[in-house]
């Protein structure tokens, strides 16, 4: 169970570090397809696993990048000595190899990190002070079980909150997302349930908006289907960093473009890796103004009769005055809004849009004509555009554009949402039923610690029994307790990934509010610093499990993740930890049903084989490692397009609701701030900290946080190799840098009223003037408590404030000043 005191590795020499860095730039950049061996140090065919190790076993990189990459771990003497990539499958879409990127190939640095947690810890100082006492597992189980029992008796099960976390994603038993599908959820459901949350940090605003626009959450078509398109328009979508594996969407998008020759336009404030590698044209606009751009294009289409009126008349409600629901106010259709006949009386001309977006009116006109007349046209959106203070309406802009040109439900088209992907119907870990009905938004938990008791649907509370129904706009549930206990499993969203880190820390430091915080993780993360009990988790390589696939076009796949090594130190798989707690709570038999983790894996595999008959049995799958199956492309809403009467959507009208009757109803009586709006239409409003905010007199630059090759959110954020290969820097436009006397590499102050970062500058024309970007996920490292963050976590600068009705995170709406330090 131990670990050697020193881990030697050929990549510690300067020469091999340089080779690793050169390889990593290629792996995460132009191709994403590697043929190199362990961390890029050996060609794949140079040595076989048997030549250098005792065995080679299949494992996976289970982090939240949207990919899910198989790895071959070469083990010698009880240690993982090399990481090899997937070497099976082909180079055909639907059967491709899934080659891990720079992150997965450096997974040994996560497994053998000096920061690995070794024993259960109990806090002995103030929260965040860093004073801990090592305790035995039995004591940890007892402390947690006793506190749960006491709090449930005093405050009810609604006082126990399971926080959002994606640090362990893709596994089946040892998984942290979605939280309601985890072993922690199963444990809590054995003792009466817990307070759950809906939606997530990645896409919370678009998930809510889709409910009202399309009647439920929808994807767009899968990227392999873009082989049928003549034009692909991507709003803020960056799969070459967010889906970075060499066999996932990097491969699929490049191969599809190669086969079809379609044109790719990317609309983004930043010239991302996807723009660099895939796009024919980069259209930079100011963050949070996509709605204004679409409105300006809509004006051109209406003025020149370029919209698909037949599609709008047949499949949509609310585009024009002739297709409004009964009782809607006059001149409240989208066409009336565009033509200046609505409440604001402003005509949304390309000139109007240009003043907001920063894009010339002539370009808006030409873009509108090109999109309207080039078909099939696939429109999709990344999730960055909806992570703004106007996020719900903002996320509907690409949807509306796809509706106007009639490209929903057809090959080569799309819905305007994020690309979909095919997947195998694998069985999930059974978690039993949660009896607790109120559910809060994933981003509301800090406020629910202080003021949650008494919240109703007007405060964003939904009913778990009918979670995704539009009936949730008027449900009758009430939250009956503030949060008193937080489970934080495989998650850095307790602190590092949540907004306004300094405010979050002050809230968590008040021990009179949350009475116990339990963190389960492999490493002393930023969030773990503020726990009361820290439990050392086993890594994926230290337990057997099934890993479900990531996003890979039309290829379905699953990975058998074998136990490569024994758990290091005294770490323990989460299922075993929770079994120990269940025993203290008197529900061990109910929790385990007499099964070990290996027993559950065998059971889950047989359940999955009922839906996937050609899936191999346990021993064969274990040897095979990766099971692939070519599936049909995803054509989102095809059934609805084929027959809208027989296949109505979940909206009140059964159609695409451009003017949402439910949002109109909510706008009349919901609780939301004066500077927020609930609009039935997807219309542009200048909300908090967007371009034109008076606050720009003090903080003139918009800052966003983009995904980054160095890490997946905060996972891998403490890897020395990756930090050296891809250092944390603030992106600043050349013009903005020149005004401030900032040169490439200069140390800068990036600050606002929430906090301050100290970061080197990356001076570049790859980002729009007036905009900067801090790669998100860096670990918060203050010089002193509440002081300057030299680690560079963008959430030192972002807000707690939720959006109007999704109650989601508008973290990309932030204004800062940048100065040379």
Split at pLDDT 50, 70, 90, the class of 24 is very low
Residue 414's φ and ψ, nearest 5 degrees, are: 170, 170
How does strand 626-630 pair with strand 555-561? antiparallel
CA dist 610 and 629 (Å) reads 15
Domains 220-237+286-420+637-662 and 694-820 share a fold: no
- pLDDT tens for 491-533 read 999 999 999 999 999 999 999 999 999 999 999 999 999 999 9
State the pLDDT at residue 43. 31
Q: Indicate the fold that domain 220-237+286-420+637-662 takes in CATH.
A: Dimethylsulfoxide Reductase; domain 2 (3.40.228)
CA atoms within a 13 Å half-sphere pointing along the CA-CB vector of 620: 8
Contact call for residues 461 and 217 (beta carbons, < 8 A): no
CA distance 240 to 245: 8
254: which 2 tokens? 């490049």
The average pLDDT across 20-47 equals 32
- Judge whether 231 and 380 are in contact, CB under 8 Å: no
Residue found by looking up tokens 């906090």 in the block: 755
Tell me the pLDDT tens digit for each residue of 734-760: 999 999 999 999 999 999 999 999 999
Question: Domain 694-820 maps to which CATH number in 2.102.10.10, 2.40.40.20, 2.40.37.10, 3.90.230.10?
Answer: 2.40.40.20
> What sign for the dihedral angle of Cα 619, 622, 625, 628?
positive
* Percentage of residues in the chain having pLDDT higher than 70: 94
Q: For residue 522, give the nearest of 509, 503, 535 by alpha carbon.
A: 535
- Model's pTM, two decimal places? 0.93
CB-CB contact of 166 with 490 (8 Å): yes
Tokens of 335: 């066409």
User: Which regions of 18-54 does DSSP assign to beta strands (E)?
Assistant: none
CATH number of the domain at 121-195+425-537+572-594, out of 3.40.50.740, 3.40.50.1820, 3.10.20.30, 2.30.250.10?
A: 3.40.50.740
C-alpha 247 chain-centroid distance: 19
Strand pairing partners for 220?
419
Q: Read off the tokens for 557.
A: 């796949």
Contact 635, 619 (CB under 8 A): no
d(CA 210, CA 217): 5
The full set of domain ranges for the chain reads 10-111, 121-195+425-537+572-594, 220-237+286-420+637-662, 694-820
Residue 19 backbone zone (phi > 0: left; psi -120 to 50: alpha; other: beta): alpha
What is the arithmetic mean of pLDDT over 280-288? 98
Single out the residue of 17, 392, 342 nearest to residue 208, CA to CA.
392
- pLDDT recorded at residue 172: 97
pLDDT tens for 179-201 read: 999 999 999 999 999 999 999 99
pLDDT of 20 over the 80 cut: no
On the 0-12 / 13-18 / 19+ scale of CB atoms within 10 A, 752 is buried
The tokens describing 154, both together, are 């005093």
At residue 321, what are phi and psi to the nearest 5 degrees?
A: -65, -25
Q: How far is CA 563 from CA 1, 87, 567, in A?
A: 13, 20, 9
Q: Which of 520, 544, 542 is nearest to 531 (CA)?
A: 520
Polymer length of the chain: 821
């Amino acid at each position: 169970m131990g670990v050697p005191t020193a881990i030697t590795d050929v990549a510690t020499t300067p020469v091999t570090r340089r080779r690793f860095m050169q390889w990593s730039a290629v792996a995460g950049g132009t191709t994403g397809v590697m043929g190199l061996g362990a961390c890029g140090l050996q060609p794949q065919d140079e040595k076989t696993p048997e030549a250098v190790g005792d065995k080679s076993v299949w494992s996976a990189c289970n982090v939240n990048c949207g990919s899910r990459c198989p790895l071959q771990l070469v083990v010698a003497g009880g240690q993982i000595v090399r990481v090899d990539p997937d070497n099976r499958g082909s180079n055909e879409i639907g059967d491709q190899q899934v080659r891990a990127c720079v992150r997965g190939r450096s997974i040994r640095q996560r497994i053998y990190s000096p920061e690995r947690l070794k024993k259960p810890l109990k806090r002995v100082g103030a929260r965040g002070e860093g004073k801990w006492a090592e305790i035995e597992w039995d004591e940890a189980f007892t402390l947690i079980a006793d506190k749960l029992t006491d709090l449930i008796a005093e405050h009810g099960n609604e006082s126990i909150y399971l926080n959002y976390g994606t640090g362990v994603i893709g596994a089946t038993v040892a998984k942290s997302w979605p939280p309601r599908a985890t072993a922690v959820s199963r444990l809590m459901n054995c003792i009466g349930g817990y307070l759950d949350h809906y939606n997530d940090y990645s896409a919370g605003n678009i998930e809510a908006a889709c409910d009202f626009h399309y009647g439920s959450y929808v994807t767009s078509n899968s990227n392999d289907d873009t082989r049928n398109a003549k034009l692909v328009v991507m709003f803020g979508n960056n799969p070459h960093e967010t889906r970075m594996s060499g066999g996932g969407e990097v491969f699929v998008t490049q191969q599809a473009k190669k086969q079809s020759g379609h044109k790719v336009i990317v609309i983004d404030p930043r010239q991302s890796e996807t723009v660099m590698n895939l796009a024919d044209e980069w259209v930079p606009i100011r963050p949070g103004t996509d709605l204004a751009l679409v409105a300006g294009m809509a004006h051109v289409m209406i003025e020149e009769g370029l919209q698909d009126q037949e599609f709008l008349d047949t499949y949509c409600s609310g585009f024009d005055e002739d297709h409004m629901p009964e009782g809607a106010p006059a001149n409240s259709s989208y066409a009336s809004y565009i033509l200046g006949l609505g409440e604001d009386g402003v005509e949304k001309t390309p000139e109007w849009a240009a003043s907001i977006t920063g894009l010339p009116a002539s370009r808006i006109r030409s873009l509108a004509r090109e999109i309207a007349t080039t078909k099939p046209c696939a429109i999709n959106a990344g999730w960055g555009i909806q992570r703004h203070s106007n996020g719900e309406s903002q996320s509907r802009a690409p949807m509306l554009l796809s509706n106007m040109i009639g490209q929903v439900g057809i090959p080569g088209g799309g819905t305007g949402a994020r690309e979909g992907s095919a997947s195998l119907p694998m069985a999930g870990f059974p978690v039993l039923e949660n009896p607790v009905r109120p559910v809060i938004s994933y981003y509301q938990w800090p406020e629910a610690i202080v003021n949650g008791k008494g919240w109703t649907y007007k405060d964003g509370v939904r009913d778990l029994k009918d979670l995704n129904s539009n009936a949730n706009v008027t449900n009758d549930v009430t939250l009956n307790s503030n949060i008193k206990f937080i489970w934080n499993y495989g998650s850095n969203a307790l602190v590092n990934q949540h907004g306004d880190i300094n405010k979050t820390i002050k809230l968590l430091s008040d021990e009179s509010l949350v009475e116990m915080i339990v963190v389960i993780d492999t490493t002393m993360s930023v969030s773990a610093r503020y726990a009361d009990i820290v439990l050392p988790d086993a890594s994926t390589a230290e337990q057997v499990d099934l890993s479900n696939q990531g996003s890979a076009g039309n290829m379905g796949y699953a990975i058998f993740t074998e136990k490569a090594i024994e758990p290091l130190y005294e770490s323990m798989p989460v299922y075993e930890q929770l079994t120990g707690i269940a025993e203290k709570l008197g529900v061990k038999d109910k929790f385990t049903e007499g099964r070990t983790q290996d027993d559950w894996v065998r059971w889950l595999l047989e359940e999955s084989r009922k839906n996937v008959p050609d899936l191999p049995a346990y021993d064969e799958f274990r040897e095979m490692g990766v099971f692939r199956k070519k599936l049909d492309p995803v054509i989102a809403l095809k059934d609805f397009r084929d027959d809208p009467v027989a296949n109505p959507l979940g909206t009140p009208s059964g159609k695409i609701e451009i003017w949402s009757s439910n949002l109109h109803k909510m706008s009349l009586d919901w609780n939301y701030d004066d500077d927020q709006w609930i609009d039935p239409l997807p219309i542009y409003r200048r909300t908090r900290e967007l371009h034109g905010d008076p606050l720009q007199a003090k903080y003139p630059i918009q800052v966003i946080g983009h995904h980054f090759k160095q890490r997946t959110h905060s996972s891998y954020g403490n890897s020395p190799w990756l930090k050296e290969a891809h250092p944390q820097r603030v992106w600043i436009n050349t013009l903005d840098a020149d005004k401030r006397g900032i040169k490439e590499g200069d140390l800068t102050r990036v600050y606002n009223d929430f906090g301050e970062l100290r970061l080197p500058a990356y001076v570049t024309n790859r980002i729009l003037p007036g905009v900067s970007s801090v790669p998100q996920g860096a670990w918060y490292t203050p010089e002193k408590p509440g002081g300057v963050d030299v680690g560079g976590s963008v959430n030192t600068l972002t807000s707690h404030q939720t959006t109007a009705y999704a109650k989601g995170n508008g973290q990309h709406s932030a204004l800062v000043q940048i100065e040379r330090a």
